[in-house]
Structure 1
Amino acid sequence: MTIVGVDGCKAGWIAVRRDPGAAPSAAVFPSFAALLDALPADATVAVDMPIGLPDVSQKGGRGPEALVRPLLGNR
């Protein structure tokens, strides 16, 4: 079974794919539809995204994001 981890990026979507017996591979897709078109129908896809949205937006993002941002440095 093909397993894929997906996250949004400036260029669209980045995916890391693992097929049985093969080394992992990474690719960037301009749209989520293009990503899905490149996968077998039975692939398991895990998408990194927040579960729910906060009622109030705070400067600096959610708590965990605000804590880690100083450690990441400038983009």
Structure 2
Amino acid sequence: MTDSDRTLRMVAFILNIISIAATFWLIIPMAWMIPMTIRSWGIYKGTKPNTMAFGICTLLFCSLIGGILLLVSTKNE
């Protein structure tokens, strides 16, 4: 993983945290936003693979910019 990929993945994780903080009062979206944020931390650390499907799900359900950053980052399929 290059330094730019590491930075993209960290920014995506931070944006997921911000989206959780912005929607903390909505219970139903938290059911998928919290696990997706935990998985994005694993992607940043390198323990989970960065796949296109997860990037698209992050784009749709959690953070628009974070999802785009995960899609731009190198995939580990």
- TM-score, scaled relative to structure 1: 0.23
Flag the structure with larger Rg.
1
Higher-helix-fraction structure: 2
Q: Which has the higher contact order (CA 8 A, sep 6+)?
A: 2
- TM-score, scaled relative to structure 2: 0.23
